[in-house]
């Protein structure tokens, strides 16, 4: 789908080449650091690139809007390939860039990953299960969807939601119509461009994710399934790999199979994270996916032969993918908001690997850094 048919190779970009990066946050920063280690330069493009986590460690930064066609062309012509750290880059922006340079992942893949309905339709079309869902574009449609799916649901905006934002829970009991109206209002229903999806609430035993890297030649590697624990809708801790008491070998293999299948069907060139729910009886349901490095893959920076960020660099530069060998088990803890003030203690803790993102202001809910702790392999 990305326009580079499977089985072909990308031109191999030699060290010294420049990678264009759409988006300027911590994922771009850690990709730029991995690129620099291999001798590549990074040029960041984002409306908020000035002084950003990624720009701080990149060779160049363009501060311009996503619809600034001239700036996009200049940027595209100044780099050797473009990738992204934010999947909500407008599809029109991706299509424009594509006229001047290689872009991975490409516009077709982005249009699937940007919209929860397109995403779930795509996944279900592959025969892969998700929570039951319905599109809902008014309070009445929300109420109807809840009546069909069951009383415990989650209403989400179809686009631009992250870290639990743009979501409202619907519970059994009470006035169903009033609850639907409140939920619809809570996600900004009625505002221009806001569309909704009602999902059945999954009583999961745990949440897992699998991160896949895939080259233009179809070569694919995957990291083991990890367990993700959230707090207030934001990833708190990742346990890598997921403990076998929680996620059996069969369930982990199923999660791996699902993630690889999606990457292949999307003809991914780059890195893809697939987030899944595991139910008490071991069923695996896809929640969402992100065609970029993912917070639940940060543990690979210290515990694997090749980290997820280096895999992205390798994939888009036409290099062979690296080994995903795990040299240690790991626990990754996010530092959200004021958590980052613990940095002196974390630095003093033997074995704790601290990663800070260079963000000046520790606002509540803002991802400021993470810490990886390593353990002998089980």
Segment contacting ligand AMP (CB under 6 A): 38-46, 49-57, 194-202, 292-300? 194-202
The answer to whether residue 201 forms part of the interface with ligand AMP (CB under 6 A) is yes
List Cβ neighbours of 291 (8 Å cut-off, separation of 6 or more): 87, 105, 109, 110, 113, 266, 268, 270, 271, 272
What's the closest the beta carbon of residue 352 comes to ligand AMP, in angstroms?
25
| Nearest residue to 221 via CA among 330, 293, 311, 295 | 311
Nearer to ligand AMP, 10 or 154 (CB): 154
| Other residues' Cβ atoms within 10 Å of the Cβ of residue 181 | 17
Q: Are 27 and 84 in contact (CB under 8 A)?
A: no
Task: In whole angstroms, give the CA distance from residue 272 to residue 100.
Answer: 24
Binding to ligand AMP, residues 249-278 (CB under 6 A): 275
Report the nearest approach of ligand AMP to the CB of residue 219 (Å): 28
Using an 8 Å Cβ cutoff, are 120 and 197 in contact? yes
* Residues with Cβ within 8 Å of residue 276, at least 6 apart in sequence: 207, 208, 209, 210, 255, 258, 284, 285, 286, 287
Minimum CB separation from ligand AMP for residue 60, in Å?
Answer: 32
DSSP secondary structure code for residue 265 in this structure: H
Q: Determine the interface stretch with ligand AMP among 2-10, 71-79, 94-102, 198-206 (rule: CB under 6 A).
A: 198-206
Min separation Cβ 164 and ligand AMP, Å: 5
> Looking at beta carbons only, is 199 or 302 nearer to ligand AMP?
199
Rule CB under 6 A: say whether 85 interacts with ligand AMP. Answer: no
Q: How far is the CB of 170 from ligand AMP (least distance, A)?
A: 11
Query: Residue from 47, 132, 161, 218 that binds ligand AMP (CB under 6 A)?
Result: 161
Among 270, 272, 295, 291, smallest CA distance to 113 is for: 291
Q: Which is nearer to ligand AMP, 158 or 287 (CB)?
A: 287
> Which burial class, exposed, middle or buried, applies to 187 when counting CB atoms under 10 A from its CB (0-12, 13-18, 19+)?
buried
Is there a contact between 208 and 310 (Cβ–Cβ < 8 Å)?
Answer: no
97-156: contacts with ligand AMP (CB under 6 A): 131, 154
161 versus 337: smaller Cβ distance to ligand AMP: 161
Restricting to residues 45-64, which ones interact with ligand AMP according to CB under 6 A?
Answer: none
Residue 199 interacting with ligand AMP (CB under 6 A): yes
- Listed ranges 41-49, 117-125, 200-208, 215-223: which one lies at the site for ligand AMP (CB under 6 A): 200-208
Does residue number 287 form part of the binding site for ligand AMP (CB under 6 A)?
Answer: yes
Pick 209 or 311: Cβ nearer ligand AMP: 209
- Residues 6+ positions from 19 with CB-CB distance below 8 Å: 31, 32, 35, 40, 41, 42, 43, 79, 80, 81, 82, 83, 313, 316, 317
Residue closer to ligand AMP by CB (options 199, 227) is 199
| Minimum distance of ligand AMP from residue 285's CB (angstroms) | 8
Query: How many residues line the site for ligand AMP (CB under 6 A)?
Result: 13
When binding is defined by CB under 6 A, the residue of 207, 227, 267, 310 that contacts ligand AMP is 207
Quick check: 45 and 20 in contact, CB under 8 A? yes
CA atoms of 123 and 6, how far apart (whole Å)? 19
Q: With respect to ligand AMP, which residue has the nearer C-beta, 281 or 345? A: 281
Alpha carbon distance 68, 333 (integer Å): 37
Q: Pairing relation of β-strands 60-63 and 41-46?
A: parallel
Q: Does 233 bind ligand AMP (CB under 6 A)?
A: yes
Q: Is 366 helix (H, G, I), strand (E, B) or coil?
A: coil
Min separation Cβ 309 and ligand AMP, Å: 21
Query: Which residues make up the interface to ligand AMP (CB under 6 A)?
Result: 131, 154, 161, 164, 199, 201-202, 207, 230, 233, 275, 287-288
């Amino acid at each position: 789908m990305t326009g580079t048919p499977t089985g072909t190779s990308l031109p191999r970009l030699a060290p010294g080449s420049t990678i264009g990066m759409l988006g300027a946050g911590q994922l771009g920063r850690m990709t730029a650091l991995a690129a620099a280690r291999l001798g590549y330069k990074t040029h960041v493009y984002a409306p908020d690139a000035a002084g950003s986590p990624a720009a701080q460690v990149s060779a160049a930064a363009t501060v311009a809007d996503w619809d600034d066609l001239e700036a996009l062309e200049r940027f595209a012509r100044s780099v050797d390939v473009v990738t992204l750290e934010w999947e909500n880059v407008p599809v029109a922006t991706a299509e424009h860039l594509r006229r001047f340079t290689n872009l991975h992942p490409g516009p077709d893949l982005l249009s699937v990953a940007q919209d929860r309905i397109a995403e779930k339709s795509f996944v279900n079309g592959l025969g892969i299960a998700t929570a039951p869902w319905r599109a809902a574009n008014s309070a009445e449609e929300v109420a109807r969807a809840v009546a069909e799916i069951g009383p415990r649901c989650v209403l989400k905006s179809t686009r631009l939601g992250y870290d639990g934002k743009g979501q409202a829970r619907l519970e059994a009991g009470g006035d169903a119509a009033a609850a639907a109206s409140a939920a619809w209002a809570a996600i900004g229903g009625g505002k221009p461009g806001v569309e909704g999806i009602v999902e059945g609430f999954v009583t999961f035993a745990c949440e897992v994710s699998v991160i896949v890297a895939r080259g233009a030649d179809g070569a694919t590697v995957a990291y083991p399934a990890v367990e993700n624990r959230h707090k207030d809708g934001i990833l708190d801790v990742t346990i890598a790999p997921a403990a076998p008491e929680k996620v059996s070998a069969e369930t982990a293999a199923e999660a791996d199979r699902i993630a690889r299948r999606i990457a292949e069907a999307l003809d991914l060139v780059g890195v893809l994270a697939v987030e899944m729910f595991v139910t008490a009886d071991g069923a695996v349901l896809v929640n969402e996916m992100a065609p970029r490095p993912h917070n639940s893959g940060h543990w690979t920076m210290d515990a694997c032969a090749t980290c997820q960020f280096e895999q992205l660099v390798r994939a888009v530069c036409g290099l062979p993918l690296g080994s995903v060998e795990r040299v240690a088990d790991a626990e990754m803890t996010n530092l959200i908001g004021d958590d980052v003030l613990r940095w002196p203690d974390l630095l003093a803790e033997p074995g704790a690997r601290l990663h800070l993102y260079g963000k000046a202001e520790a606002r509540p809910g803002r991802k400021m850094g993470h810490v990886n702790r390593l353990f002998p392999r089980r």
